[in-house]
Structure 1
């Protein structure tokens, strides 16, 4: 006789049999993190960050957001970017300024995520250029988009519009750095410091430590002997997971050693090439116990930056995180992100879709074209 096994019975059996195994694996990973964390701190891979109190700084945040809805066999998207300036004196905000850009249009649904990424980066650099033409420049600009593209972002030329957006984005990045490099830190000691923060490329710092002489790409001074005392350390790190490891070893007000991404791998595929040649420095930091570890990126090479410069930048970032919550961001970026709420809710894009539908039904655009055609026919 055939016996039936319901989904409920399968779930109960899996939970009862799999729970002890899952608990054992998690416990082993947590024990390893507790064991390796002091060694990483002692070796200099994990470094403390000083919080500046009271803080005085001129800082800007540029946040981006997008919304996509299905329409007419394709997609309608809205993409916005907001720049929020905060001038802070002795811990008090005494001046603010706001600038913004919005784009709403239709698109194919082949890869709208990449299209939005290209648009966001372009908008970010447009706002940056507007800022660079002002008299009173901020000391620090924090953005939530990548500063450069990766070769993996390149779409197939078959997708004409998406490939055109990619080329436009590459050219926008190239134009900005060609025009304003001498106004940017570290090429100008008094220039604007531009930093991108995100949650990507977690754990890259551990890659070079796992191979012989792999620490040549690390900017800060570290002691590898502290980590190599035990065998198979990095094999265990791979099994634990670098993201879980970062959550465990990065404590309140700490950062990882900084490293040059272009030296991390021989296959450096950052785009555009002109900015790739400038280099890219990365490090992870964490402001509080409940905040998430974030990746910070700045343009430059090992010879352009040093430990003191990275420490000052990390101190500014940590000091601008005023609340210890999982969604916390540096203050100007948080304000800019909050201003994008109308984009995120989708209210505007749904209204746009409704208006498009009404105009299509009423044939308003076609009537205008016909009127113009009749006008020219009358002239003949």
Structure 2
């Protein structure tokens, strides 16, 4: 630092010590204020029906399936090599014991530009999940509950510009895949078939959307809130959306969701009309969202299910959440419902990167030996003779 005409060295260690000593009291004060706000608002949310208790099923008997996805990318040849896989893990659980298992999988390994690779992988994973779902629905013995870790539909924000070439083609293929699935197999899925399969997507996205809906100035809240909620209790509490944003909706959700609880469910496409779902032909199906937490140490998860506010009710949502909560065997931060956890574990060979590094090595060797080029030249000559 410069002080008048003299310069004084300030080592990073000194800056860190000074910042900790001066900033720690301020940080603790802000955290304490946020925690007091959460403690203050939590009883209101519970009493008004926004936070709802869930019963655990014991002993548990269910035929369930989990579909997990994973990918790995590495830089190579001026672009990206990627591997993307999806694993379906079926379990038949009878009175708390696993009696049958079944596994199916899909893998895609290829090269791509490094521009928007995350969007491309998202499209690939969604198509893989729908391919596995289609095979499942054609089987004689279908599961009662299917849990996936990808969105069931895309959003307008996922759409790339049509000038993005291959990425735009991948997006269109993904939209068409979703559309074809729901046009063909909608009658297999609950609530469109009251005895159908319950298809559930779980993720950690859109944390706290319910709070934006509850504390917004929108007067038609009953249209998109599925559960019975006492809006008068919430309004009398006089907690503004500004305060919730200041605390942080993720922090608030972690604070008010305790063991075996869920938030009130809401129809997402009505709550956020500006964020339209794709494909547009399927928007009339609707999407219901809510958050749940299985244990004190597990992460809150967002549940995404197809349907609208008239086709779901509190009883069917409580029943669904009860199965999800009962499928947890450990109360740990990385825990997931059992079939999804098994499917995630099976994807370890993709996630650790060994396969994609081997693929890169073999590709480099083939390029050096010009094996592909020689075959290609032979084909060009062959077609040239035909002309």
**TM-score with structure 2 setting the length:** 0.95
Equivalent positions of 1:201-350 (< 5 A) are 201-210=206-215, 211-216=217-222, 217-350=224-357
2:119 equivalent in structure 1: 114
User: 2:128 pairs with 112, 123, 127, which one?
Assistant: 123
Cα distance in 2 for partners of 1:142, 1:357 equals 39
Report Cα offsets for 1:240-289 as digits up to 9, x if no partner. Answer: 10100010000000000000001102324110012221000000000000
Please state whether the residue corresponding to 1:85 is helix, strand or coil.
strand
- How far apart are residue 375 of structure 1 and its match? 5.5
Q: What is the aligned-residue RMSD (CA, Å)? A: 1.5
1:177 aligns with 2:182: yes
Which runs of at least 4 in structure 1 moved beyond 6 Å after TM superposition? Answer: 376-380
1:151 aligns with 2:159: no
Quickly say closer, same or farther: Cα 1:361–1:307, change in 2 above 3 A: same
Please state whether the residue corresponding to 2:52 is helix, strand or coil.
strand
- How far apart are residue 9 of structure 1 and its match? 2.4
* Residues 44 and 237 in structure 2, CA contact (< 8 A), matched pair in contact too: no
* Residues 227 and 233 in structure 1, CA contact (< 8 A), matched pair in contact too: no
Quickly say closer, same or farther: Cα 1:224–1:376, change in 2 above 3 A: closer
1:27 equivalent in structure 2: 32
Quickly say closer, same or farther: Cα 1:231–1:2, change in 2 above 3 A: farther
* Residues 208 and 214 in structure 1, CA contact (< 8 A), matched pair in contact too: no
- How far apart are residue 373 of structure 1 and its match? 4.8
1:355 aligns with 2:362: yes
* Residues 157 and 275 in structure 2, CA contact (< 8 A), matched pair in contact too: no
Quickly say closer, same or farther: Cα 1:377–1:283, change in 2 above 3 A: closer
Cα distance in 2 for partners of 1:38, 1:92 equals 37
Equivalent positions of 1:129-140 (< 5 A) are 129-140=134-145
1:199 equivalent in structure 2: 204
1:98 aligns with 2:94: no
- How far apart are residue 50 of structure 1 and its match? 0.7
Report Cα offsets for 1:206-252 as digits up to 9, x if no partner. Answer: 11211252522110001122222233443321111010001000000
- How far apart are residue 86 of structure 1 and its match? 0.4
Cα distance in 2 for partners of 1:105, 1:72 equals 12
Say which is worse superposed, 209-218 or 47-56, in terms of deviation: 209-218
Cα distance in 2 for partners of 1:78, 1:306 equals 40
5+ long unaligned stretches in structure 2: none
Say which is worse superposed, 203-212 or 186-195, in terms of deviation: 203-212
Quickly say closer, same or farther: Cα 1:75–1:232, change in 2 above 3 A: same
Quickly say closer, same or farther: Cα 1:379–1:118, change in 2 above 3 A: closer
- How far apart are residue 370 of structure 1 and its match? 3.1
Please state whether the residue corresponding to 2:162 is helix, strand or coil.
coil
Cα distance in 2 for partners of 1:332, 1:89 equals 14
Quickly say closer, same or farther: Cα 1:176–1:377, change in 2 above 3 A: closer
* Residues 73 and 83 in structure 2, CA contact (< 8 A), matched pair in contact too: yes
Report Cα offsets for 1:336-366 as digits up to 9, x if no partner. Answer: 0100000000000000000000000000011
Count residues with an aligned counterpart.
Answer: 380
Please state whether the residue corresponding to 1:158 is helix, strand or coil.
helix
1:79 equivalent in structure 2: 84
5+ long unaligned stretches in structure 1: none
* Residues 49 and 311 in structure 1, CA contact (< 8 A), matched pair in contact too: yes
